Structure 1
C-alpha cells in the first residue's frame, strides 16, 4: 500500500463515520467480517464497532478529525489524529488517538488504538469504545 492509498482510506473512513447522513451499517464496507478493534484495552468486533458508531452519533452534534501523521507500510497503516467534537449537551471534547490499522484484501481487519482525552470531562474518557446499552 502506498502513502496516498492509506491517506484515502483513513479520510474516507472518518468522513463516513462523522457524517450522520450515512447509515452506520454502511460503515461495515470499510472492514472485514472478522474485524477486531482494541481501544484502551476494550475489544470490539464489527457489530460492536457499529454499535459504538451509533452511540457516538447519539451523543455528538458534530465531530471532526484532523490527522497529524499517517504512515503506510505493506498492509499496515499507523496514524496520529485529533478528534474535536461537540456533545449534544453543549460540552466540547478533544481526543488524541494513536492507531495501528491492519488491512486484508483492501479492508481494515484490525485496529489497535490508544486514546487520550486532551479536553473534556473525565466521564468521556471511554468515548473511544463506548457502547450505549439499549433500555
Structure 2
C-alpha cells in the first residue's frame, strides 16, 4: 500500500515547532527509529531523499518503511514536504507514521 502525503502551508513556512511536535510524537510512540538515507539530491532551496525508516514499538514489533520525499525551503524553514511512503515490512498501521502529531 502506498500513501501520498502533501504537507504545505500556503503563505508562510511551516514553523520548526510543527516538525518538533512530530518528532516528540514519534519518540513517545516508538522505542527506536533509525533512518537510512539511501539517496539525497539538493539544488537551491529544494532537496529530495530516498530513505528507509526502521521502527521498533515498545512491544518489540518492527516495521520497515521506504520513503521518497521532496522538500522545499524558504528562509531556512521547510515550506513544503511531499512524500510517498511504502510499507516494506510490518503492521499496516505504521504506514502513516509520517503524519503522526
TM-score class normalised by the smaller sequence: 0.7 to 0.9
Q: TM-score, normalised by structure 2?
A: 0.77
SS in structure 2 at match of 1:90: coil
Q: Report the structure, 1 or 2, having the larger strand content.
A: 2
Matched, 1:96 2:83: no
CA RMSD of aligned residues (A): 2.1
Matched, 1:116 2:86: yes
Aligned length: 93
Give the CA deviation at 1:71: 0.7
Q: In the alignment, does 2:34 pair up with 1:77?
A: no
TM-score norm. by structure 1 comes to 0.60
| Contact 1:42–1:129 under 8 Å retained in 2 | no
Structure 1 unaligned residues grouped into runs of 5+: 1-38
Structure 2's unaligned 5+ residue stretches are 9-13
Name segments (4+ residues, structure 1) moved above 6 Å.
none
Separation in 2, partners of 1:69, 1:130? 24
Match of 1:65 in 2: 35
- By how many angstroms is 1:42 displaced? 5.8
Cα distance change of structure 1 residues 40 and 48 upon mapping to structure 2, 3 Å threshold: farther
Please state which structure has a larger fraction of its residues in helix: 1
- Distance (Å, rounded) in 2 between the aligned partners of 1:106 and 1:43: 17
Q: Which has the higher contact order (CA 8 A, sep 6+)?
A: 2
The 1-side partners of 2:86 and 2:79 are apart by: 23
Q: CA deviation at 1:62?
A: 1.2
Q: CA deviation at 1:48?
A: 4.6
